[in-house]
Structure 1
Amino acid sequence: MKKNIDPVCGMVGKNDIKAEYNGKTYYFCAEGCREQFLKNPLKYTR
């Protein structure tokens, strides 16, 4: 099973905390990381 790594902090993301950007789904360990990602997704997807 593939683990979804939180692009903000590097921890394992949870299946219920996610966001889509540029056609891809990203998973986050906490809502705070998701909010940081949404403020500047380009920073975390390079």
Structure 2
Amino acid sequence: MAKDPVCGMTVDEGKAPAKSEYNGKTYYFCSNHCKAEFDKDPAKFVKEDTGHTSHNNHCC
């Protein structure tokens, strides 16, 4: 299972309605809308893995 980087929803890679590649990694989306938002500015949704987690960014 993958996590939609836009909305945070869990997505089955085999059934995901949309996907994009960015910096050599494939991202899966729950909808074409989330994919379109990601494609506008991928860096906004992809954070470098620093080993720290943040609880300040919530979607809903």
In structure 1, list runs of 5 or more residues that go unmatched: none
Q: Aligned-pair distance for 1:34?
A: 0.1
Q: TM-score, normalised by structure 1?
A: 0.86
The percentage of aligned residue pairs carrying the same residue is 52
In the other structure, the counterpart of 2:28 is 27
User: Which has more radius of gyration?
Assistant: 2
The CA RMSD over aligned residues, in Å, is 1.1
4+ long deviations beyond 3 Å: none
More strand by share: 1
Distance 1:32 1:16 in 2: 10
Does the residue aligned with 1:36 lie in a helix, a strand or coil? Answer: helix
More helix by share: 1
Number of corresponding residues: 44
Q: TM-score, normalised by structure 2?
A: 0.67
Question: 1:7 is matched by which residue type in structure 2?
Answer: P
Distance 1:8 1:16 in 2: 14
